[in-house]
Structure 1
Amino acid sequence: MQSHLVSKTRSDLNVATILLAGGKGTRLHELTAAESKPAVHFAGRNRIVDFAMANIVRSGLDRLVVATQFAPATLHDHLPARWDGHFASGAMILKDGRDTYLGTADAVRHNWAQVEGWGSDQVLVVAADHIYDMDYAPLIAAHKASGAAVTVAVDVVPVTAASGFGVMQTDTSGRILSFLEKPAHPPAIPGDPDHAMVSMGIYVFEADWLRDALFGRDIASLDFGHEVIPAAVAQGLAMSYRLPAGPSGHTYWRDVGTLESLRLSHLDFVGQQPARLPRASTLSEWYLGRGSVAMPGALVPASARLTRCLVAPGTKVPAGLVVGEDPDEDDLWFRRDRGTVLITQAMLDRREAVRVPVSLHVAARPVLQSRDVA
């Protein structure tokens, strides 16, 4: 599973890129208690943010502001160490927005002086917390050709999973006719009742239009999905861009927002490579078998039997531990999200310190089970 990152030189792209990397990721529970969601490890030494960073570099985009917010220290250490060599001096700027940004659009507004300083014609806004492989240059070219104020990158997901995204409907040209941010009852694609078209959290804006949207009369606009994109749709100035299929013939884009989706996305890389890993990694670094994943620094002895588990960073699993076979037992000690069980060192320490007799297991109330929906 080697990944060879090649940076393009794109003199035709006068684009400022804003990477939104401040998300807390509350549905990842203990994994994001002290880390932002983009900083969570994925497939060995990679972090979730590295997928967006690899896409930016491969696309030849050379002016980048990274807007961090929750628990930014890891990203402020990791990103320069991992990615500074791909940018000219001063062309990757990390901005700590703790206690400052009030929404996604507000994060861009607070960093607008840098966009103006670069004199960029377009602004690419990218979420830092998804797993996918994409060249942004064709998206930017399609945006320029359309004459739209904003172009939204989109993918198609089952309608049952669409309520966690911005959901839209378009005409045959791709113009967005309606946009609903995280609707309780997502509208399906006309003629396809099982699927919905959703925003990938990737937008290309005309810089002049975005400046007016951020600093015009409606200065209450704080969020792209709730306010800025719907405003462009209402003006008839919003276009969609379908994520192209990869080598498999299918698209691959995953929001790893829950423990279940994080583990299952790891398994997508077992035996195949739906998206390029930003850094070389081997299965032996993180895949334990039986549908289980170990994160960096975790020690799992061969005598442990873990099924559909995520082992948190730095966790030392005791010999002979069995997890993932008895939900009632798992609920006593660990966090369970649908078919996934999270194991942390704190959970193991508590289990060791407080041994519940077998006779009490049936009566014990599960205290850590998660009801999250992927």
Structure 2
Amino acid sequence: MRPALFGPSAQTRDALLSSACTVVLAGGRGTRLRELTDMRAKPAVPFGGSSRLIDFTLSNCFNSGLRHVRVLAQYQSHTLTRHIARAWTFPSPFQADSVEVFTARESDDGGYRGTADAVHQNAEILRANAPERVVVLAGDHLYKMDYRAMLDEHVRRDADVTVGCVDVPVDRACEFGVVRRDEDGRVRAFCEKPGRAESTAGTPGWTVASMGVYVFRAELLWRELARDAADPQSSHDFGRDLLPALVARCRVFGHGFAGYWRDIGSPGAYWSAHMDLLGSAPRLDLVDPAWPVRGDVAPLAGARWVPDDRGQGGTVEDSLLYGGGVVRGGHVRRSVLYPGFAIGERSMIEESVVLPGVTLGRQVVLRRVIVDEGCVLPDGIRIGIHPGEDRARFTVTAEGITLVTARMLAAGS
């Protein structure tokens, strides 16, 4: 269901949105995703068939009516610029003004020193239209959120900064920026990736984390970015430096979000998010015409499953099979297969993620496996059955998920 609209009137809402500048931070490599980001920026990692991680943030922007979006890229920036040029070229169903990508140099004396520095280096361009507020978003999280409600709350509270907040288990607090709010929603403390965190009052085992979604009063942001840039002790990061400093001096509030939100910080989290797409009532439903998630719009033929060489048909159970692929008498259970797959005779795929352009030979077995783009798996290979054997060739996570890339296959051939 589409999130409820905010605001006292459409005119006020439109004025608020048109006066905002939106910045998407997409410069990081995402080293915790291991080999999935060797050849691509983390926000360019595929998710949901024809989409990439960044498409969820960009779709949120345009579904929310934010029309001036600037993407700040650095690591493997060509993978982002190529995708955005293909998927976010207008005119389109989203009648937006623009999506522009600004890239940084990746040399010893250049590049972005941190998330705050990325915005600071582009401040002159971002200030050109004299925005009243700046929306700063991470480009690598999965969620569907109407930013209008957060902007409305930011204005009503006369806030200098508003931080999007979500509840997370205490034992995972070390992965996020942890927020402590008072009963009025004002942020009293912000600690990036603490060693330990306490439960929020009334919710044992849970604490409040930052979503990487911020709204700033524009003039305050430009001033604070300049101050931070001149500080030799700063790491020039929003979570580590800017926000903790602002909490003591400014009106910083937290905006609670109760929907699905996931930080794709590891191969295990990436696999789990794909499993969230499955089932009769998926936790993350991509079939939502009221809140569409845009992706690569290239037309593809429908997926097919056909009999094998013995005339026996295959089976598909609780899975997503995207266009341009074929299953020849194989069996697919609780898996996500991206466009261009080719599954050989009598192969079996269970609880796995097969990225675009993957070919499986005959009698291949995959169980709880992520197969990266363009891999060719030979006849008879079995992955995810014997973790000890898999560790000698592939990456096996603590959760027991096996990651396979073309380089790994070539090295072991």
With structure 1 as the length reference, what TM-score do the two structures score? 0.86
CA distance in 2, matches of 1:351, 1:80: 36
> Which of 53, 56, 75 is matched with 2:58 structurally?
53
Match of 2:274 in 1: 266
Match of 1:364 in 2: none
CA distance in 1, matches of 2:151, 2:282: 26
CA displacement 1:253-292 (0-9 Å, x = unmatched): 0111101000110110012443454248981137265210
More off after superposition, 117-126 vs 302-311: 302-311
CA distance in 2, matches of 1:105, 1:115: 13
> Which of 35, 41, 52 is matched with 2:40 structurally?
35
Kept in 1: contact 2:54–2:141 (CA 8 A): yes
CA distance in 2, matches of 1:164, 1:39: 21
**What does residue range 341-356 of structure 1 map to in structure 2 within 5 Å?**
341-352=402-413
CA distance in 1, matches of 2:141, 2:128: 29
Task: Report the RMSD for the aligned CA atoms in angstroms.
Answer: 2.1
CA distance in 2, matches of 1:302, 1:42: 26
Match of 2:336 in 1: 287
TM-superposed CA distance for 1:147, in Å, is 1.1
**What does residue range 1-374 of structure 1 map to in structure 2 within 5 Å?**
10-13=14-17, 14-85=19-90, 86=94, 91-98=98-105, 99-216=110-227, 219-220=230-231, 222-244=236-258, 251-271=259-279, 272-277=281-286, 278-279=293-294, 283-285=320-322, 287=336, 289-301=349-361, 303-338=363-398, 339-352=400-413
CA displacement 1:113-160 (0-9 Å, x = unmatched): 122211110000000001110111111111111111100001011111
Unmatched tracts of structure 2, length 5 or more:
3-9, 287-292, 297-318, 323-334, 338-348
More off after superposition, 288-297 vs 124-133: 288-297
CA distance in 2, matches of 1:240, 1:304: 49
CA distance in 2, matches of 1:114, 1:153: 25
CA distance in 2, matches of 1:333, 1:196: 38
CA displacement 1:265-321 (0-9 Å, x = unmatched): 011001244345424898113726521010011122462111110000000111221
Q: Percent identity?
A: 36
CA distance in 2, matches of 1:348, 1:69: 28
Q: Residues 88 and 130 (structure 1 numbering): CA distance in 2 closer, same or farther, change over 3 Å?
A: closer
- AA aligned opposite 1:291: E
Query: If each structure's helix is expressed as a fraction of its own residues, which one has the higher value?
Result: 1
Match of 2:301 in 1: none
TM-superposed CA distance for 1:328, in Å, is 0.8
CA distance in 2, matches of 1:184, 1:176: 20
TM-superposed CA distance for 1:208, in Å, is 1.3
- How many residue pairs are counted as aligned between the two chains? 339
SS in 1 for 2:358: coil
More off after superposition, 91-100 vs 224-233: 91-100
CA distance in 2, matches of 1:323, 1:176: 47
More off after superposition, 209-218 vs 11-20: 209-218
Q: Residues 267 and 172 (structure 1 numbering): CA distance in 2 closer, same or farther, change over 3 Å?
A: same
Unmatched tracts of structure 1, length 5 or more:
245-250, 353-374
Match of 1:248 in 2: none
Q: Residues 88 and 45 (structure 1 numbering): CA distance in 2 closer, same or farther, change over 3 Å?
A: closer
More off after superposition, 209-218 vs 235-244: 209-218
CA distance in 2, matches of 1:292, 1:43: 13
Kept in 1: contact 2:277–2:285 (CA 8 A): no
